[in-house]
A and B are shown apart, each in its own frame.
Chain A
Amino acid sequence: MFRTPLRTRPRAQIGGARSVLPALSVLAAALLAACSSTNASPVAATSSAAANAVTASGSASAAPSGSSTAAASAAVSASAAGSSSAAVSASAAAARGSLTASQTTELAALLKTAQGPAPWAAPGPPVDVKSLTGKKIFALIDLQSVPFQTTLANAIKAAAGAASIQVTVGDGGFVATHDIQLLQNAVHDKYDAIILGEAVPATVAPALREAKAAGIPVVSLLYGDPGAVITSENTALNVVADSTYCYTCSGAVAADEAIYATGGKVNAVVITDVGTELSTDIQKGFLGEIAKYCPTTCKTKVDEVQTSNVAQAVTSAAQVAAQDSSVNVIFPGVDFMVAYITPVLKAANADKRIMVLSTNADLAPMQTMAAGGSVKADVGNPIGWDAWGAVDQAYRAMAKMAPAADEKPPIRIFTPDNIATIDLTKDADGWYGPVDYKSEYKKLWGLS
């Protein structure tokens, strides 16, 4: 129904099953460390730092875990990005592991593009927002106490404010009856457009039917892949447009990284939050790439978890994966689950063997990556861009224009190769490159 993975992200409490096993594993690891001076198989052999193994940026893996983000970045110089390219070029012509030379080249090129800064592409023709003066937008963004949701709400307010369009952002707390009530009030208060943040239209159908009767267009924000929400059922509920990014592509890029890093010998545990469109899309993307590049040499096991007990379920899945010495990848579809995984891997001394990849590029997993932890890739998207895109769609709908087929918000994969090129202490919008999407949207709207 709702973007449960995202809304549960701030529950940073690492609960879950506190079995005896992790404690014993820690004790065993400590004893082994005391007896041995070398650790397990180096990350370089199993991560995209396989490319780094050829270059000096192997130091990315060796960054001291206690260091600050800035120090970690400094430890890996700007040559990391260059060396990644060099490493990619150097190995492009040769097959990697089970991959053929052409597969290797193809994946290297895909990853190089995916690691690069995000480009701007206008979603559609310009919109004359000055003609919309006096109109108002209602946006339903639940759980605004959560940073992710706060970012969405603030971005919507900023986008509307840029055009001096009145906007009200409501919060139903993800309680269906509250959401319906807020939307019905918006209809009664004669708003001109509704932005539905991460909600499944069917679950607020009573309110959307009223919106349709009142001729109020509904724009979906972050439902699933672009266009996925535009079905006949949702069109009947007046959902006319969406603003979202390609979740399938996110999963696919993460899989590309895993396949490239392991040379086509991925043995992955895929953890998916069931019941949400975006999780289904991410999983589909990941498994699709595995089937494409290494159907016989890669293995995957899908663990479906429910948001209501994600702490326990994800911790349990990580424990099982950690005990299986053949597993080299864990892919939780959305990175709020990483918080439950990395401690388990560390306790089981599997953090060097298993690379953790995910999507969403939340701050905590990115910091783990920058510090040299077991997170080796995170595919992110600037959510502020998605929110401005939703407002753009609302403007188009209010101006009786055709909706944009795709607002084209980008994705970018962050790995130890390029994490040093971004400043994690700054706003996440700046992680995606120099493109100022806000200025671009303002130009599109005739405001500059």
Chain B
Amino acid sequence: MTDTLHVERNAATDRPPRVNMNALGQRYGLVMAWLLMIVIFGVIEPSKFLTLNNFQTLFDSQAILLMLALAFVISLVSGDFDLAVTGNFSVCLVLIGRLNVVHHVGYGWAILAALGVGLVVGLIHSFLIVQLGLSSFIVTLGSGTALMGVGFAVQAQAVQGVSRSYTHAISMGVGGLQMTFVIALVLTVLLWYVYGYTPLGRQMYFVGASRDVARLAGLPVARLRSISLVSTGLVGSLTAVVAAGYLDGSDPNVAATFLLPVTASALLGATAIWPGRANPWGAFVATYFLVTGYTGLEEMGLSGWVQQVFYGGALVIAVAVAKLASARRGANATAEFGVS
């Protein structure tokens, strides 16, 4: 995404474009922090940290977390919170396990069923949040809990043995990395394109920035929010489809601990690339920044409470920095254009 207004202004005054270091710092600060962290851990534990295997494992194993973070980003972009993303993921995952492993239903049908559930969850959220006007935070907090419970009702125990051909396809290597990571990367690129280069994506950002202004500007706010919530549900269920192949099974407990890392990644990602707004590349960088920190601390022998403090602290800092960045953009716009 380019800073169009800034370039146009410079063109109007016939001055060569200036590089705004402040803006660059805001956009790529997290990336630089990530690289710095790699350097630091690489110096402290070179034999454990600076290995190809370590990075391959890091990227592959966290692909599921990244996909869930991207699902959460979709709802954040249009100004809603979908805290049911992990509950939706859980129920879809156990459904695949139940159908394919326990009842030997073909994995194609199991996948379709899971995607169907994701779609229904998204539609229900859309109805409750958009049509009835309920708080997305509260609705999805409740529905997420309910969905976790439904997951246990569907299949309380872990099962293993998803269709062999499917697990092979999901786990196959592509350029040294697994297909799961490639899928997550493709999803990141797709969302980046939609949000950065399509009217739909731009309109969703408008809605997320201010519903009232978007409505006055003639945008179909309700429809856009609905599309967002349904998409979140679908991406959550798609993540479950990938996870079932990756894990070769399902377990209703898997998603229980995902909510914090997912929200941390999505919210921390709002401080990078497109500062002040949740965005796919920001979520990508944030996910791997957090995991790199976690891994590095682990390899230094600092496990337990230190890791929890790191994760929780990163989330708090993320929210604070995103707020500051957002306020700064507003102040800059006011100073430059004399509008409030």
Chain A residues in the interface with B (C-beta under 8 A) = 1-2, 4, 143-145, 150, 169-171, 173-178, 180-182, 184-185, 188-189, 200, 202-203, 205-206, 209, 233, 274-277, 280, 306-309
> How many Å from the CB of B145 to the closest CB on chain A?
7
> How many Å from the CB of A337 to the closest CB on chain B?
17
**Are A202 and B257 touching (Cβ within 8 A)?**
no
Q: Does B159 contact A (CB under 8 A)?
A: yes
> How many Å from the CB of B318 to the closest CB on chain A?
18
A203 to B251, CA, bound (A): 7
Residues of B within 8 A of A276 (CB): 253
A150 to B305, CA, bound (A): 11
Q: Which residue of A lies closest to B160 (CB)?
A: A202
Partner of B257, one of A150, A174, A182: A174
Q: Which residue of A lies closest to B254 (CB)?
A: A176
**Are B156 and A233 touching (Cβ within 8 A)?**
no
Partner of B61, one of A184, A189, A200: A184
Q: Top 6 nearest A-B pairs by Cβ distance? A: A171-B303, A1-B253, A144-B304, A181-B61, A188-B53, A202-B160
**Are B57 and A181 touching (Cβ within 8 A)?**
yes
> How many Å from the CB of A11 to the closest CB on chain B?
12
Q: Does B7 contact A (CB under 8 A)?
A: no
Chain B residues in the interface with A (C-beta under 8 A) = 48, 51, 53-54, 57-58, 60-62, 64-65, 145, 148-149, 152, 156-161, 171, 246-249, 251-254, 256-258, 261, 291, 294-295, 298-299, 303-305, 307-308
Using A182-B298, A275-B152 as known contacts, say yes or no to A189 and B48 having CB atoms under 8 A apart: yes
Residues of B within 8 A of A209 (CB): 248
**Are B252 and A275 touching (Cβ within 8 A)?**
yes
**Are A202 and B159 touching (Cβ within 8 A)?**
yes
Residues of A within 8 A of B257 (CB): 173-176
A200 to B58, CA, bound (A): 21
**Are B148 and A308 touching (Cβ within 8 A)?**
yes
Q: Which residue of A lies closest to B47 (CB)?
A: A189
Partner of B54, one of A170, A185, A206, A275: A185
A206 to B157, CA, bound (A): 18
Q: Which residue of A lies closest to B61 (CB)?
A: A181
Partner of A306, one of B152, B158, B305: B152
A237 to B24, CA, bound (A): 48
Residues of A within 8 A of B246 (CB): 206
**Are B308 and A173 touching (Cβ within 8 A)?**
yes
Q: Which residue of A lies closest to B299 (CB)?
A: A185
A145 to B303, CA, bound (A): 8
Residues of B within 8 A of A202 (CB): 158-160, 247-249, 251
**Are A306 and B149 touching (Cβ within 8 A)?**
yes
> How many Å from the CB of A417 to the closest CB on chain B?
36
**Are A188 and B298 touching (Cβ within 8 A)?**
no
21 contacts between A and B (CB under 8 A): A1-B251, A1-B254, A4-B253, A144-B304, A170-B303, A171-B307, A173-B308, A175-B258, A177-B61, A177-B65, A178-B61, A188-B53, A188-B54, A202-B251, A203-B158, A205-B248, A206-B171, A209-B248, A275-B253, A306-B149, A306-B152
Residues of B within 8 A of A307 (CB): 253, 256
Residues of B within 8 A of A309 (CB): 145
**Are B145 and A308 touching (Cβ within 8 A)?**
yes
Partner of B53, one of A1, A175, A185: A185
**Are B152 and A1 touching (Cβ within 8 A)?**
no
A212 to B158, CA, bound (A): 20
Residues of A within 8 A of B248 (CB): 202, 205-206, 209
> How many Å from the CB of B198 to the closest CB on chain A?
31
> How many Å from the CB of B286 to the closest CB on chain A?
15
**Are A206 and B247 touching (Cβ within 8 A)?**
yes
**Are B58 and A181 touching (Cβ within 8 A)?**
yes
Using A145-B305, A145-B308 as known contacts, say yes or no to A188 and B247 having CB atoms under 8 A apart: no
Residues of B within 8 A of A173 (CB): 257, 294, 307-308
**Are B158 and A200 touching (Cβ within 8 A)?**
yes
Using A174-B257, A202-B247, A309-B145 as known contacts, say yes or no to A180 and B61 having CB atoms under 8 A apart: yes
A206 to B61, CA, bound (A): 9
